[in-house]
RNA sequence: GCUCCCGUAGUUAAAUGGAUAUAACGGCUCCCUUCUAAGGAGUAAUUGUAGGUUCGAUUCCUACCGGGAGCACCA
């Protein structure tokens, strides 16, 4: 890659001056008028060299310029500001890069950072009998994109959906069904999950008046863990009702999993884990429960792995899950959990426990966290009944997108929702707003889809006019060209930091550069000798947009 | 009380310690006889406060202020 070439030549130039450099910083200036690459070495190393930054920059420049040849990849080198050395790439370079994009097509941007690496990405993980809300959407969308980016970078990826189908909440739900519900009604209902959630909310209201209900719920969960026949079949029904709804949503979102191993799958495997914890003397009994304590420096609170009534907890299932995964996928497996940031401390506990057990080394367990969706008035909560259901949002989005174009309303609406989550760094909270989440203009998914459709339409016209794309002619470097070749770098950064938003922001820049280009000139023009080159450029833009949007899980309709 | 995260134009966000802090929405002005106006061009407006480190700080450190999250039998 060009980046490495420039770095190497800077290194050589420094060596000649006998200056040692730990790391050479090479970046893209924010402003395209400052060139394509820029380095600050002259400023960083000036004190060491005994020269002023500008003097050192001059010396380096004169040496670097010697290596420039006609027809090479670098057109000129400039010194600017307090001592930046700026590199301007040549038209020949841009020609080559477009050629490469047209040749590699959907493979362009791939890298081998993940060669030979196996990774499980766990995301979405909704809870049975709870609404699939806007909150789960974040994990689903970000996780799906991260899985795609990892795959694009050569990792072997296993997508896992760890459905929450076990735990005390089922005790609560069963109490509520028995007391206030009607199984026949539930069976017939089109929306059984809504009824279940209402029952769940009712339980939490009633429990304030009558705390004994909690004990009843715990009893029912215990019955469930003992596989009481009637209880078990009721539980099974509840799971089926919910899964039907989840699968309908996954279908619409275009999200797939390789493996769906719900918590209940690990039910039998928990005893083994508890024994291992006891045998390795990692846990101890405290107030009748089995608890893991951590070192004082870690500042971590103790982790409960078995309740005093002998039943399991979320953490128990988590540990059993990871043990199973390790056994199934081999010792070098990396496990990533895409889960909300409110579980940050909890995951630290889990990772610490798994290290103590000798299962995983540092870096083999990763928690990618995201902030939560909040309402202007506070937190969303199933119990309070103020959560926003995802299906309502998707339907509303499709309605709004349909006002522009009915045919592509669904992919455009989904694209808008996904992009809204992926365009930002995921750690901060989002205050829910219909206008923000359903934004179809400006910095949005539909903007990118629109730009793609526009590029495709240009290409169609070029075909009709029989203008074949060619990388032989060239213009002075245009803005879109100066962004196109960066795509692989952006992908690499997104993998390294598990951050799809770098791709999202990059695509916006590229699309905006292309749209300006499009507006200023005519691309398809028989009388223009540069037209074939402009067509090739357009084709390259369409390829990058398609690849980039694919990594974000966003569809690219040909027309809209 | 302890731990963690976040404070950037009116709003929502971006920015590997770099140059004049970048976009979008909203506001105001323009551009459809032209390959898609879900578009383009222009315009005004921003780093919570006080210190420190640095040639250079939105970014790193300290304190404070404001918002959010978590902290033993929920998931």
pLDDT in tens, A502-534: 999 999 999 999 999 999 999 999 999 999 999
Confidence tier at A49 by pLDDT (50, 70, 90): confident
One domain for residues A130 and A58: no
Q: Please tell me the predicted confidence (pLDDT) of residue A69.
A: 75
Q: How far is the CA of A134 from the C1' of B21 (A)?
A: 32
The predicted model gives A117-140 an average pLDDT of 92
One domain for residues A47 and A146: no
Query: What gap in Å lies between CA A219 and CA A212, rounded to an integer?
Result: 11
Query: What gap in Å lies between CA A437 and CA A388, rounded to an integer?
Result: 12
From the list A52, A55, A74, A53, the residue with the least C-alpha distance to A65 is A74
Q: Please tell me the predicted confidence (pLDDT) of residue A276.
A: 96
pLDDT digits (tens, 9 = 90+) for A129-161: 988 988 889 999 999 999 999 999 999 999 999
The verdict on residue A358 lying in a domain is yes
One domain for residues A69 and A161: no
Q: Please tell me the predicted confidence (pLDDT) of residue A63.
A: 92
The predicted model gives A396-407 an average pLDDT of 93
B strand bases under 7 Å from protein CB: 2-7, 12-26, 34-41, 55-56, 68-75
User: Is strand B less than 7 A from the beta carbon of A61?
Assistant: no
User: Is strand B less than 7 A from the beta carbon of A411?
Assistant: no
User: Is strand B less than 7 A from the beta carbon of A31?
Assistant: yes
- pLDDT of A472 > 80? The answer is no
ipTM above 0.90, yes or no: yes
One domain for residues A368 and A450: no
Pick out residues 296-335 of chain A having their CB under 7 A from any atom of nucleic acid strand B. Answer: 299, 301-302, 304, 307-309, 311, 313-315
**Which protein residue lies nearest to nucleotide B70, measured between its Cα and the C1' atom?**
A342
User: Residue A220: which CATH number?
Assistant: 3.40.50.620
What is the residue whose two structure tokens read 């009721």? A234
DSSP characters for A451-495?
HHHHHHHHHHHHHHTT----SSS--SPPHHHHHHTTHHHHHHHHH
The verdict on residue A94 lying in a domain is no
C-alpha pair distances (Å), A233 with each of A229, A239, A263, A552: 6, 10, 17, 39
One domain for residues A179 and A272: yes
Residue A452 is encoded by which pair of tokens? 């793609």
One domain for residues A68 and A125: no
Nucleotide nearest to A454 (CA to C1'): B36
The predicted model gives A423-449 an average pLDDT of 90
Which of A331, A350, A375 terminates a domain? The answer is A375
CA contacts within 13 A on the Cβ side of A369: 15
Is residue A486 within 8 Å of A506, Cβ to Cβ?
yes
The verdict on residue A225 lying in a domain is yes
The predicted model gives A291-311 an average pLDDT of 93
User: Residue A6: which CATH number?
Assistant: 3.30.1360.70
One domain for residues A347 and A448: no
- pLDDT of A381 > 90? The answer is no
Q: Which domain holds residue A140?
A: 118-375
Query: What gap in Å lies between CA A533 and CA A453, rounded to an integer?
Result: 19
- pLDDT of A473 > 80? The answer is no
User: Is strand B less than 7 A from the beta carbon of A344?
Assistant: yes
One domain for residues A130 and A277: yes
One domain for residues A219 and A345: yes
Pick out residues 174-203 of chain A having their CB under 7 A from any atom of nucleic acid strand B. Answer: none
The verdict on residue A470 lying in a domain is yes
Q: Please tell me the predicted confidence (pLDDT) of residue A315.
A: 95
User: Is strand B less than 7 A from the beta carbon of A378?
Assistant: yes
Close Cβ partners of A448 (under 8 Å, ≥ 6 residues apart): A415, A419, A507, A508, A511, A545, A548, A549, A554
Other C-beta atoms lying within 10 Å of the C-beta of residue A58: 16
The percentage of residues in chain A with a pLDDT greater than 70, rounded to a whole number, is 100
Is residue A213 within 8 Å of A207, Cβ to Cβ?
yes
Based on the structure, what is the number of domains in chain A?
3
The verdict on residue A391 lying in a domain is no
> If you average pLDDT over every residue of chain A, what do you get?
93
**Which protein residue lies nearest to nucleotide B7, measured between its Cα and the C1' atom?**
A428
The predicted model gives A369-380 an average pLDDT of 86
The predicted model gives A421-437 an average pLDDT of 89
User: Residue A461: which CATH number?
Assistant: 1.10.730.10
């Amino acid at each position: 890659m060009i980046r490495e070439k420039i770095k190497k030549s800077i290194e050589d130039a420094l060596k000649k001056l006998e200056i040692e450099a730990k790391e050479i910083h090479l970046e893209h200036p924010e402003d395209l008028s400052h060139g394509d690459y820029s380095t600050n070495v002259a400023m960083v190393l000036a004190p060491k060299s005994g020269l002023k930054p500008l003097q050192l920059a001059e010396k380096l420049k004169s040496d670097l310029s010697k290596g420039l040849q006609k027809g090479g990849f670098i057109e000129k080198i400039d010194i600017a500001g307090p001592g930046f050395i700026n590199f301007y790439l040549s038209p020949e370079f841009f020609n080559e890069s477009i050629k490469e994009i047209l040749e590699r097509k959907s493979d362009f941007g791939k890298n081998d950072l993940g060669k030979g690496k196996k990774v499980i990405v766990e995301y979405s993980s909704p809870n049975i009998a709870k609404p699939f809300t806007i909150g789960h959407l974040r994990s689903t969308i970000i996780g799906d994109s991260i899985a795609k980016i990892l795959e694009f970078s050569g990792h072997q990826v296993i997508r896992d959906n760890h459905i929450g189908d076990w735990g005390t909440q089922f005790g609560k739900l069963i109490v509520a069904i028995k007391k206030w519900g009607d199984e026949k009604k539930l069976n017939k209902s089109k929306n059984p999950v809504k009824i279940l959630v209402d029952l769940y909310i009712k339980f939490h209201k009633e429990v304030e008046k009558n705390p004994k209900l909690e004990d009843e719920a715990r009893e029912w969960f215990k019955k469930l863990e003992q596989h009481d026949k009637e209880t078990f079949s009721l539980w099974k029904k509840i799971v089926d009702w919910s899964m039907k709804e989840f699968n309908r949503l996954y279908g619409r979102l275009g999200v797939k999993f390789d493996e769906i191993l719900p918590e209940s799958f690990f039910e039998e495997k928990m005893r083994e884990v508890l024994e291992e914890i006891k045998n390795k003397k990692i846990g101890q009994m405290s107030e009748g429960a089995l608890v893991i304590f951590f070192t004082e420096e870690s500042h971590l609170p103790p982790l409960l792995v078995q309740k005093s009534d002998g039943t399991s907890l979320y953490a128990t299932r988590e540990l059993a899950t990871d043990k199973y995964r390790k056994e199934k996928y081999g010792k070098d497996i990396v496990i990533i959990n895409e889960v909300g940031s409110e579980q940050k401390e909890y995951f630290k506990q889990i990772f610490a426990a798994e290290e103590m057990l000798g299962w995983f080394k540092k870096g083999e367990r990763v928690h990618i966290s995201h902030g939560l969706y909040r309402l202007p008035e506070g937190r969303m909560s199933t119990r309070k009944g103020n959560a926003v259901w995802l299906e309502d949002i998707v339907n509303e989005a499709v309605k709004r997108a349909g006002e522009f174009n009915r045919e592509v309303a669904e992919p455009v609406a989904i694209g808008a929702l996904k992009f809204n989550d992926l365009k930002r760094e995921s750690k901060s909270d989002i205050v829910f707003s219909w206008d923000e989440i359903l934004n179809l203009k400006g910095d949005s998914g539909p903007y990118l889809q629109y730009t793609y459709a526009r590029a495709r339409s240009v290409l169609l016209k070029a075909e009709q006019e029989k203008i074949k794309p060619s990388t032989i002619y060239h213009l002075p470097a245009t803005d879109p060209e100066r962004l196109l070749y960066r795509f692989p770098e952006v992908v690499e950064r997104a993998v390294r930091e598990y951050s799809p938003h770098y791709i999202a922001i990059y695509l916006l820049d590229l699309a905006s550069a292309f749209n300006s280009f499009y507006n200023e000139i005519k691309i398809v023009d028989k009388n223009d000798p540069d037209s074939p080159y402009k067509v090739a450029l357009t084709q390259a833009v369409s390829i990058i947009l398609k690849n980039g949007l694919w990594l974000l899980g966003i569809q690219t309709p040909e027309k809209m």
